[in-house]
Amino acid sequence: MLGLTLWDWAALAVYFCIVLIIGIWTARRVSNTSDFFIGGRRFGKTMMVFFAFGAGTSGNDAVGVSSKTYVGGLSGIWFQWLWLFCTPFYWLIAPVFRRMRALTTGDYFEQRYNGSVAGLYAFVGMGLLTVNIGVLQLGAASMIEALTGGAVSRYAAVLAMTALILFYGIAGGLVAAILTDFLQGILTLVLSFLLIPYALSAVGGFSGLHEGIQDSHMFSLVAPGEINLFYIIMLCTSALVGIVTQPHTMGTCAAGRTEMDGQIGFAAGNLLKRFCTVAWMIVGLCGVVMFAGESPAMDPDLVYGAVAQRLLPAIMPGLVGIFLAALIASLQSSCDAFMVSCSALFTQNFYRRWLVRDKADGHYVLVGRVTAVVVVLIAVVFSFWVQDVPSGLVWFFKLQALMGAAFWLGLFWRRATVAGAWASTLVGFAVLAVTSLPQFHAWAVTHLPDTMIWEERFRDSWQIAAYLSSAFAAGIIVSLLTRRVDKAKLDRFYDCLRTPIQRDELHHPDPFTLPEGVTPPPARKIIQHPDFEILVPSRSAVYGFLFFWAWVALLIGFVYWLSGVGA
């Protein structure tokens, strides 16, 4: 039935029942906005690891990496490994978000600048996550279409998954997201590694890969085509600039009980994803050999699902159903976090700030739930419009850094102003928009060096360099020419960020508010200048930072070694 056996449907039914039970149970535990938007800050290290892993990982990632690898070889891994070099910085970033004592990243912009910048961020952040949810749905739906041999269209799959996400997401908020992410994280690990031994066996192992793929560039981490060294550097830079302004980062860093819970969860959960990326790359390479010479040519977005559809039924009854449950789980684990973050932004930083104040907390929870429905429905429309998964993800990479300049300048530089924050965002967006026009691409081909052109278009890497440098330059120049933010407001902001979370510290309804009786520690700065707020890192911060850099080096070394196995 619809390309699946009875055993497959049974596996799916068990999964759906578990998720529905979690949604109903968590709905009863949501009593205020803190519960709905930030999970009541009640979760420990294990739950935070799987929350960060689940929120940052989806079957769409497997589709994107295998698609890029199928087309361009090993270098396609950078389609997700662009976050690899950011991972050590997550250890340093997580405590900053926890110390904000806020519900949304919009609260950061409100306190550092003013309500207008927070409103701008709410608009940009909601647009960003709506795009991301749509791309995630398209990726998962593409795999479902391949798994069912086309019996279920990708559009029907999008609608079915949307209904399930909406049910438990709007019922239980971030509590439901975190609890289901524990289950969904385990299933995503299954999704990532289940296919490898069978796919390698089907192509004759690593030696069979090298025999079936004659182009040596397909086994290079840095290819001479689109994904060259500069492309990797710019994607990684954009990722680091933009990760702090992805709205769901607040939840993945600050829903834990302590700073350490958030640090371990955010850094280790994302490191776990870097391991999974290697598995997706291997399946993409196997697909090159498995589908060589087929007519019509395999759609790259369908490669991962097609490999599963060909191999799994012969292994064990119901395995396709388990694989499909893992896929849907991985989608939900990301979309639920994004959906709740979007609703929090609209409710806290727009509706509550500008439209309706001083209502009971239950009123804002209701508004958050309605907003979540609207956001997901808009994302569905986007998923029907976007051409393919890689192109949708590239747009996400570009958009996610638009307010990064305002965030980082405000974090480290007291001189950053409200006008500077607006200028950095608008100038960055203007440069991105102009360099995306067909007319600009036509001009670039005839006027710019060949190194800046790829397939008759201005290279994405140079486009990223252009809008990021323009955004930071505009923010700095305009800030130097405009009025400073009030000193008392800045003192409260920086005092809060350098004050560690206290044991059993209770949530305060006002962001950036220290517990009564707590005195901020003195500022130990690297640069002794009144306008700079770059603090000396603690010993644990340095050790953790170096620990995760060691893992980054080991992962790159492992994949480099893997590229020569069987040659």
Q: 197 to each of 23, 120, 311, 315, how far by Cα in Å?
A: 35, 48, 10, 11
Domain 6-389 has CATH 1.10.3720.10: no
Q: What global pTM score does this model have?
A: 0.87
User: How many CA atoms are closer than 13 Å to the CA of 227, on its beta-carbon side?
Assistant: 24
- One-letter amino acid for residue 428 of the chain: G
Q: Are 48 and 261 in contact (CB under 8 A)?
A: yes
Q: Where are the domains of the chain?
A: 6-389
Written as tens digits, the pLDDT of the chain (567 aa) is 566 788 888 888 887 787 777 766 766 666 556 656 666 677 789 889 988 888 777 767 888 889 889 988 998 898 788 889 999 999 999 999 999 999 889 999 999 999 999 999 998 888 888 888 887 777 777 777 777 777 777 777 777 777 777 765 665 555 566 666 777 778 778 777 888 999 999 999 999 999 999 888 889 887 666 677 888 889 889 989 999 999 889 989 988 888 999 999 999 999 999 999 999 999 999 999 999 877 677 888 788 888 888 888 877 888 888 878 777 777 776 777 788 788 888 888 889 888 888 888 788 888 888 888 888 888 888 877 765 665 666 677 777 788 999 999 999 999 999 999 999 999 999 999 999 999 999 999 999 999 899 889 999 899 999 999 999 999 999 999 999 999 999 999 999 999 999 888 877 778 999 998 899 999 999 999 999 999 999 999 999 999 999 999 999 999 999 999 887
Q: Are 498 and 451 in contact (CB under 8 A)?
A: no
Residue 458 phi, psi (nearest 5): -65, 125
Closest CA to 330 of 47, 10, 9, 50: 50
